[in-house]
Amino acid sequence: MQIGKHITIKDVAQKAGVAISTVSRVFNGLDRVSPETRAKVELAVKELEYSPNSRAVSMITGHTKTIQMLVPDFVNDFYGSVIQGVEEVLRNNDYMLMVCSTGDSQEADLSAYIKRFFDVIDGVIAIPSNANIGNIQSLGKPVIFVDRAILGSGIAAVTADNAGGTYLLTKELIRAGHKKIAVISGDMQLNVGQQRLWGYRCALSDSGIAENADYIACGAMYEETGYRSFKRLMQLSNPPTGVVACNNLICIGCVRAAGELGLRIGKDISLVGFDDHVLASIPNPGITVVAGQTIEMGRRAANMILARIRHKDIKEAEVSMPVELIRRNSIRDLRASPAK
């Protein structure tokens, strides 16, 4: 309608014939206002289509109703799901979501990103890409990690049941008669990498299978890691018959490598993965995975940060979300027919 100036509280006050402070009081409703005055003001507000300028409000009140979210990138749809959950909750609570990608770089310092926009945010939700978080907790604003936690950082996190997930996955291979099982995991500085490897180890030792150092590959949680490690594993003189891929990207890398090597998944090689994704869900052959509720993880994180903003004294808590095994056709049953 009007391209020019925006309606201010002053305009409303003038139109309603009351003081500025009175208009403010009918909005924030702390103090009592007589019914007639309130009616006059509300009429003016409606006619003028007034809504308070949030910048001005935040100067006084100190809060901006904005949460900053830091993710490694936006292209991985796993991160996308988390953002989706966060944004949903925030929107319903009249908060805004500011996003920032930190990139893959191992040196990216999270606290630098936060400092940059420090004065316009009330809190931070981050998916850290490394353990380099600077003096994040001294910033004085609530921070929550999602998907990955940083051990000993004292920062609350919402994660998947990492160890439980790879345990299930590995057990599934063992149940089908596999003994030579490899794992491809990520950075050991992050809990995801550590815990997912740990679940694999537990499953092995529970079943009395000895670990083989050659079968353990660690890198970063990227497709490249999966691709390279898979090829290396297959070139071993005594290659594994089953592979546990510790995230969606690694799994995709494995599939790509298998394709190039002419290995049929579910027949020549068995593959299971952490996190569900399109490639795994299409029955060709369809890959057995454990899947967490990624959107729900985002929702939880958002609710946690909101709670911390409202009540400053909430202490750290780690939320671990259950994962579910989705059986598909990527495991060859070695009990039926002997290994090739």
Partner DNA sequence: CGTCCTTCGCGAAACGATTCGATGATTGAC
Partner DNA sequence: GTCAATCATCGAATCGTTTCGCGAAGGACG
Binding site for a second copy (CB under 8 A): 1-4, 6, 51, 53-56, 58-59, 64, 66, 73-77, 79-81, 83-84, 87-88, 91, 96-101, 117-120, 135, 138, 140, 252, 255-256, 259-260, 277-279, 281-284
- Tokens representing 29? 């409703």
Omega prior to 239 cis, within 30 of 0 = no
Asked if 9 is part of the footprint of DNA (rule: CB under 7 A), the reply reads yes
Q: Does 24 bind DNA (CB under 7 A)?
A: yes
Distances (CA, A) of 118 to 67, 95, 139, 155: 10, 16, 9, 18
Among 33, 233, 244, 258, binds DNA (CB under 7 A): 33
Site string for DNA, 35-64 (x = CB under 7 A): -xxx-----------x-xx--xx-xxx---
What is the closest distance, in whole angstroms, from the C-beta atom of residue 58 to a second copy in the complex?
Answer: 6
C-beta of 174: minimal distance to a second copy in Å? 27
CB of residue 304 to a second copy, shortest distance in Å: 19
Identity of the amino acid at 255: V
Minimum CB distance to a second copy smaller for 202 or for 321 = 321
Residue type, 192: V
CA angle (123, 128, 133) in 5-degree steps: 75
Answer for which of 28, 92, 205, 281 binds DNA (CB under 7 A) is 28
Q: Does 120 bind DNA (CB under 7 A)?
A: no
Rank residues 26 and 287 by Cβ distance to DNA and give the closer one.
Answer: 26
- Give the residue, chosen from 19, 112, 282, 314, that forms a contact with DNA under the rule CB under 7 A: 19
> How far are the Cα atoms of 90, 123, 128, 144, 323 from residue 155, in angstroms, in the given order?
20, 13, 12, 6, 22
The least distance separating DNA from the CB of residue 119, rounded to whole angstroms, comes to 8
The nearer residue to a second copy, 170 or 248, going by C-beta atoms, is 248
Report d(CA 126, CA 114) in Å as an integer. 10
Nearest C-alpha neighbor of 244 from the set 306, 314, 178: 178
Query: Rule CB under 7 A: is residue 70 a binding residue for DNA?
Result: no
For the CB of residue 64, give the shortest distance to DNA in the complex, in Å.
Answer: 12
Cβ 66 to DNA shortest distance, Å: 16
Q: Indicate the burial class of 98 (C-beta count within 10 angstroms; 0-12, 13-18, 19 or more).
A: middle
Q: Residue 186: CA atoms inside 13 Å, Cβ hemisphere, count?
A: 27
Under 8 Å between Cβ of 128 and 145 = yes
Q: Say whether residue 34 binds DNA (CB under 7 A).
A: yes
Q: Is the dihedral of CA 220, 226, 232, 233 positive or negative?
A: positive
Q: Which residues bind DNA (CB under 7 A)?
A: 5-10, 17-25, 27-28, 30-34, 36-38, 50, 52-53, 56-57, 59-61
